[in-house]
Copies of this chain bind each other. A is one copy, B any other.
Amino acid sequence: MAKTAAALIIGNEILTGKVAEQNIYVMAKELFALGVELRRVVVCADEIPTIVRDLCELKASHDIVITSGGVGPTHDDVTIKAVAAAFEQKVVRALPYESLLREHYGERLTEMHLRMADVPEGARLLATPELRWPTVAVGNVYVMPGVPQIFRAKMAILREELKGSGAFFSHAVYVALDEPTLAPLLDQLSFAHPQVNIGSYLHWGDDADYRTKLTIDGRSEQLVELCFQDMLAGIPRERLVRSE
C-alpha cells in the first residue's frame, strides 16, 4: 500500500514560462482523495542526467513517483530513456504497444510513430478500456504525459493502482478574523494536536465573507474531530462564518 508519493514534472516549457503547469493540482487532489501523501514535487528540465538524478532520489524516498511530460517521439522527449537509466534497464520496443500503433496508423506508420512503443525493459503497460494508449510503469514509477487533457484522463490508472491505500479526514473553518488575531489559538491547537495537520490561509481581497480559512487534515478521523471541536470552541461565535 502506497502511503507517500512524489512527482517529477519534466519540461523546459514550464521553466521558461511558455506554458502554465496544470498537472500538479490535478494529481495532488487525486492523491489526497486516495489517501496517499504527496510529499514533494520537482520541476526539472528536459535533460537525461538531471531526470535520472531526481528519479533515483525520489523513487528511493517515496512509495511511488509520478512523472509528467517528456513522452513522445521528438528529440526533447527523453523521459523514457531517463527512467530506463534510473532503473539500469535498456530501452526496448514493447510488442503489444507496437501492435496498437500499427493497427491505428496503418500505412501511415513510420519509425517515428514506433518510437512511442519504446519502453524500459521490464516495464508494465497499464491500460483502461477508455484509453487508447497504455501507461508505462517501471517499479514504483508511473510515466504520465504532460498534455493536461491526457494527464487527467490517465488519473483513472492511478485510482485503480492506488485504491485501498488509506484515507485522509478533513475539516475547513472559515473565520472573519485575520491571521495575527488567530495566531495564539493556532499555536495552542498545533501544540495540543500534534497528530493532525493544521493550515491557515488568508483570503486576499474583498470578494469573500471570511478573512482566514483554517484547515485540519489527518489519517485518524477521531483525532481530526477532536481538533475540529477544539478549534470551533476557540473561535468567537460571531466571527465563525461557516465550517465544513
Q: Is the CB of B73 within 8 A of A199?
A: no
Considering the chains assembled together, what is the distance between the CA atoms of A29 and B202 in angstroms? 26
Could you tell me the distance in whole angstroms from the C-beta of A216 to the nearest C-beta in chain B? Answer: 11
Q: Is the CB of A76 within 8 A of B28?
A: no
Considering only residues 25-80 of chain A, those with a C-beta below 8 Å from chain B are: 25, 27-33, 37-46, 72-77
- A interface SS class: mixed
How many monomers of this protein are in the complex? Answer: 2
What residues of B have a CB within 8 angstroms of the CB of A33 in the complex? 17
What residues of B have a CB within 8 angstroms of the CB of A76 in the complex? 186, 190, 198-200
Q: Is the CB of B41 within 8 A of A28?
A: no
Q: Is the CB of B75 within 8 A of A180?
A: no
A195 at the interface (CB under 8 A from B): no
A150 at the interface (CB under 8 A from B): yes
A149 at the interface (CB under 8 A from B): yes
Q: Is the CB of A75 within 8 A of B112?
A: no
Interface residues of A (CB under 8 A from B): 9, 12-21, 24-25, 27-33, 37-46, 72-77, 110, 112-113, 115-116, 147-150, 168, 179-184, 186-187, 190, 197-202, 204-205, 215, 217
